[in-house]
Amino acid sequence: MIDTPERRRRGIYLLPNAFTTAALFAGFYAVVQAMGGHYEAAAIAIFVAMVLDGMDGRVARLTNTQSAFGEQYDSLSDMTSFGVAPALVMYQWVLHELGRWGWLAAFVYVACAALRLARFNINTAIVDKRFFQGLPSPSAAALIAGFVWLVVDNRLAVPTEALAWVGFGVTLYAGLSMVSNAPFYSGKTFTLGRSVPFWVILLMVLAFVFVSSNPPVVLFGLFVVYGLSGWGLMFWRWQRARRLQRLRR
């Protein structure tokens, strides 16, 4: 059969979609591990999915292999790894102790993740590239996975019912933050292809050392700060708008 340009355009790019598939596998693996009661492994798998998800888009841009198929596939992968997987891990771990309140919180998170991804897909061309509208789904998943990893790894002696309600609050906060209008810094202005000062490399090394010192505590702490940053920025913008209005009067 003749290899025409039309036939080549129907194909898919292997490299970026391989990273997306790996991220999808990590999310699926997290669910399997949670079903087996291995919650620490499940939480780590979600963080692995985050790393892989962050790489597929950058690889596609660096190799000029972006495609409509890749965008849709990435969204479906995100829905599994950062929508369904975190909710099921949290429910299997502790939310089931709350009965219907537990599965309702898990469902709210899943629904908000779906709404967040749908809104992101249709607003890509019109929103400020510097900021996400609402908490991005990987960061929401990191809040849940980080909380699970923190408690399991440090064997925190917390009464089960109290732990379940804290998990309930974390799940709802992560879910509702995804569908908010709070602006969260995207980091898309940072490009890997440009040169950087030497101190930036040193800072990256120190960051790796800092995270490796106690991954569950450090990662959860970092994503808590990020998960609150959008609301802080939103409040600051509101206050600045009020001051400008007073000056104009």
Per-residue pLDDT reduced to its tens digit, 221-231: 999 999 999 99
Residue 117 · residue 79 · CB < 8 Å: yes
* pLDDT band at 195; cut points 50, 70, 90: low
Domains and CATH numbers, the chain: 13-248 (1.20.120.1760)
Quote the Cα angle for 98-42-20, to 5°: 120
DSSP code of 83?
I
The CA distance from 140 to 144, in Å, is: 7
Per-residue pLDDT reduced to its tens digit, 16-58: 888 999 999 999 999 999 999 999 999 999 999 999 998 887 7
Say which residue, 78 or 120, is predicted with more confidence. 78
**pLDDT > 50? residue 147:** yes
Kindly give the interhelix angle for 68-78 and 39-62, rounded to the nearest 10 degrees. Answer: 170
Which residues, other chains included, contact 71 with Cβ-Cβ below 8 Å and sequence gap of 6+? 121
* pLDDT score recorded for residue 55: 86
pTM attached to this predicted model = 0.87
Kindly give the interhelix angle for 85-93 and 100-123, rounded to the nearest 10 degrees. Answer: 160
Average predicted confidence (pLDDT) for the chain: 87
